Structure 1
Amino acid sequence: MTTCVITSHGGDFFGNDRHLTKLLTGLADYARGCLPADEREPLVKLLAAQQQTEVGTEQTIPAADAGQFAAQLRRIARHRYLRSTKLAEAATLLANAADRAAADGQPWTWRTEAA
Structure 2
Amino acid sequence: AIHDAEPSLITSHGADFFGQDRHLLADVVALAPWIANSGAYDDRQASAPLAAAMEARESLTVPADAAAVYAEQLLRVSRIRQLRPRASALARALADAAARAAADGEPWTWTTEEGAR
| Secondary structure, aligned partner of 1:106 | coil
User: 1:34 maps to what in 2?
Assistant: 38
C-alpha displacement at 1:81, in angstroms? 2.3
Gaps of 5+ in 2: none
Alignment-mate amino acid for residue 75 of structure 2: R
Identity of aligned residues (%): 43
Mark the runs of 5 or more structure 1 residues left unpaired by the alignment.
Answer: none
Structure 2 match to 1:46: 53
Tell which structure's C-alpha radius of gyration is larger.
Answer: 2
Partner of 1:8: 12
Q: TM-score, structure 2 length as denominator?
A: 0.86
Contact kept? 2:10, 2:21, Cα under 8 Å: yes
C-alpha separation in 1, matches of 2:38 and 2:81 = 9
Whether the aligned pair in 1 keeps the contact of 2:38 and 2:44 (CA below 8 Å) is: no
The answer to whether the Cα contact below 8 Å between 2:9 and 2:25 also exists between their aligned partners in 1 is yes
Provide TM-score, normalisation by structure 1. Answer: 0.88
Q: In the alignment, is the contact (CA less than 8 A) between 2:10 and 2:20 conserved in 1?
A: yes
**Equivalent residue letter for 2:12:** S
Cα distance in 2 for partners of 1:40, 1:105 equals 21
Comparing 28-37 with 70-79, greater Cα deviation is found at 28-37
AA matched with 1:89? A
Which one-letter code corresponds to 2:80 in the other structure? Answer: H
How far apart are the structure 2 equivalents of 1:64 and 1:37?
18
